[in-house]
Amino acid sequence: MLLCRLLLLVAALELPAVEVDTLGGAHHQGLLAGLTATTATLQVNGQPQSVPLAEILELRFDHPPATATPAATPAATPADTPLLVTLVDGSRLACTRFSTQQATAHLTTTDFGVLSLPVSQVANVRFGPPTTKLEDAWKTILQRESRKDLVVIKRNETLDHLAGVIGDSGDKIKFLLDGDEIPVAREKIYGLVYTRRTQPGRKPVCQIETSGHDLLQAAAISWQNNSLTVELAAGGKLTLPVVSLRSLDFSAGKVRYLSQLEPREVKYTPFFDVVWNYRRDRNLDGGPLRLAGKTYSRGLAIHSRTLLKYRLAGEFRRFQAVVGIDEVVDEGDVRLVISGDGRALFEADVSRADAPRMLDLDVTGVRELEILVDFGGNMDISDHLDLADARLLK
């Protein structure tokens, strides 16, 4: 009997810690004991607690934070990596290799091994390392209407493209241009844009964000031995260990946290020589976001003077966040201005002495959201602003 209890205790200690937010506003914390197509089972204070997936907004994995320094930069994301593959279902994977042969694409992912799926399920591939200027040009090309595939070529800090038909790819890309097949060396290509693609036949049940900030649209999931097996809506299957999992979003895209989005522009102006780059889901010292004794697993930590701009494209209705100076400091005051398409939506001074403030702003039709954390009355000393639970609602 004692041995059985010890085995159960060991098994419980190996279960991952998670947080679950529901559509009804409830918040659960515990150990993930099971996950099926319909139910998440948690161990809460040693007792099982079942939560229907239909009621879950987001399930987050609570991993210990990595050691960080005050001047640490934000964690790398797929958008920062040279080889980024985007699928037609919206999945986005950082990869080390991409090749195609006989209508099948082979992806060697950074963290999850090899994935094979039809080329028709690949939307675009970016090979070149990004810069702000190149990313803006790349996004402009992706928005173009074209009946042909595009091979995108980098010339200094500008991008140009050729329209034709992309064939098999490896170290060279076979490209049919005006009826002639031209092999193009990979090192000359910034990216590929496919147009002969079909929409996936399966709808996602959730969106998975990994610790490396890959985004996966999952048509089916199964949980076994602390690993999540994922069938992508675009096709193909991956097995993700628990250490690589960040969150499972069951909101069907109705909620997006700012920490999940890539800002269109980041501009930081230090007051002194110390650099405090903004951080995602951690305070500026690398610990958890904390306001008035409450810990938040989602949000942004921003130091003065920082300007962040996000493309919303008019897709959201509300912007919500809890605003305050993080508990890690004893003082600090900033001027916070949040604008939509150049119009101020919120403007106030925020100090450590203030109670956290809940924001609920109307962003209906807003195409660009701008967040400015400016210097307060005491230069930039301890200006550790948190936008906890910063999220956009459709």
Q: Tens of pLDDT along the chain (394 residues)?
A: 443 443 344 344 488 999 998 877 788 999 999 998 889 999 998 899 999 988 898 999 987 655 444 444 444 555 556 799 999 999 999 999 999 999 999 999 988 889 999 999 999 999 988 887 888 899 899 988 888 999 999 988 899 999 999 999 988 899 998 888 888 888 889 999 999 777 777 889 999 999 888 999 999 999 988 899 999 999 889 999 999 999 999 987 788 899 988 899 999 998 888 889 999 999 999 999 999 999 998 999 999 999 999 999 999 999 999 999 999 999 999 999 999 999 999 999 999 999 999 999 999 999 999 999 999 988 889 999 999 999 998 8
Q: Which residues contact 29 (CB under 8 A, 6 or more apart)?
A: 17, 18, 19, 20, 44, 62
Distance CA 363, CA 93 (A): 29
Distances (CA, A) of 247 to 56, 79, 206, 236, 284: 12, 18, 10, 20, 21
Gap between the Cα atoms of 39 and 33, Å rounded: 11
CA torsion through residues 204, 209, 214, 220, sign: negative
**At 220, is the secondary structure helix, strand, or coil?**
strand
Based on DSSP, count helices (H) and strands (E) in the chain, helices before strands.
Answer: 2, 33
Reading the block at residue 6, the tokens are 């010890």
Judge contact between 332 and 271, C-beta under 8 A: no
Check residue 379 and report its DSSP letter: B
Tell me which residue of 291, 264, 320 sits closest to 137, measured CA to CA: 264
The answer for residues whose C-beta is within 8 angstroms of residue 381's C-beta and 6 or more apart is 331, 332
Report the pLDDT value the prediction gives residue 5, as an integer from 0 to 100. Answer: 42
What's the pLDDT score for residue 71? 40
Residue 275, Ramachandran bin (φ over 0: left; ψ between -120 and 50: alpha; else beta) = beta
The DSSP secondary structure of 236-272, one letter per residue, reads -EEEEEGGGEEEEE-STTSEEEGGGSPPSEEEE--SS
Which pLDDT does position 79 carry in this prediction? 54
Q: In 3-state terms, what secondary structure has residue 155?
A: strand
What domains lie within the chain, and their CATH numbers?
Answer: 15-61 (2.30.30.100), 78-193 (no CATH), 257-393 (2.60.120.1060)
State residue 72's pLDDT score: 41
**Residue corresponding to tokens 């990004």:** 130
